[in-house]
Amino acid sequence: MTTTAPGNHSWIKLSSVLAIAIAVIVLAHCADWWTLHHLAMPRFQESDLGRMFRIVGFIPLWICIAIAIVLTSDETSSLRARMRRGVLVLSSAIVGGMVAEVAKILIRRERPSDGIDHYVFRPWGDDALYSGGFGLPSSHVLVAFVGVAMLGYLYPRARILWFVLGAGCAFSRIAAGAHFLSDVVVAAVLGYAVATTLWWFSSVRRAKIAATSANAVPTSAVSPK
């Protein structure tokens, strides 16, 4: 009977996740034009529900959520713990927004346009560092998914609700005709990846702090020579 080393198991799991993500992105590209012509719902975008979903990708909303997390008091969490959670949520949204803008500038694929049935990429010589008009990835969806993914790590009991909000934000951008399906799928994948990376770093840091505290010898326990 053979066993798999923990390190190898982690790499196998990561490779599987990457393969699934790539497959989903490829399938999304195959469905771009169908969704663009069949899922456009301008009236939904202008409805209260559509506006609610879109604002999930609005960074100031995540500032409010982070502040609310810090100010919410209960008997089981200290101010320090609430500060950590609030900082994680806010930093996730900010980092997600930055990743979206950098990715747009690097990929340079423009948003859908009426009468154009192919992807359009802006040349580097045309406003090289300006991201306006780019659609891949959707910044709203990336911010939304990095935020809801972090909330999923912090408050797993409501994880389904968080991801419904993220999916709603993605649909609102397609319904508005502002993005291809692949724009929002890539954004969702990147958002989840950013949140997972930040959560991992936070967990490693807390584990190191806990180990250091456990190994520290109290001064009062050391007898004088």
Identity (one letter) of the amino acid at 54? R
Q: What is the mean pLDDT of the chain?
A: 89
pLDDT of amino acid 188: 98
- Beta-strand ranges (E) seen in 94-224 are none
Distance CA 147, CA 123 (A): 32
Q: CA–CA separation, 141 vs 145, rounded Å?
A: 6
Which range (39-43, 91-95, 171-175) has the least confidence? 39-43
Residue range 50-59: mean pLDDT, rounded: 96
CA distance 136 to 159: 26
Per-residue confidence (pLDDT) for residue 6, from 0 to 100: 56
In degrees, to the nearest 5, what angle opens at C-alpha 98 toward C-alphas 96 and 100? 70
Distance CA 204, CA 90 (A): 19
Tell me the percentage of the chain whose pLDDT exceeds 70: 91
pTM of the model: 0.86
Report residue 224's pLDDT band, with 50, 70 and 90 as the boundaries. Answer: very low
- pLDDT tens profile 171-200: 999 999 999 999 999 999 999 999 999 999
150 and 194 in contact (C-beta within 8 Å)?
Answer: no
User: What pLDDT is stored for residue 208 in this prediction?
Assistant: 79
Tokens of 131: 């991201």
Residue 223: predicted pLDDT: 46
**Domains defined along the chain, listed by start:** 42-207 (1.20.144.10)
Model confidence at 163, pLDDT cuts 50, 70, 90, reads very high
Residue reference for tokens 């699934």:
20
In sequence order, the 6+-apart residues with CB closer than 8 A to the CB of 204 are none
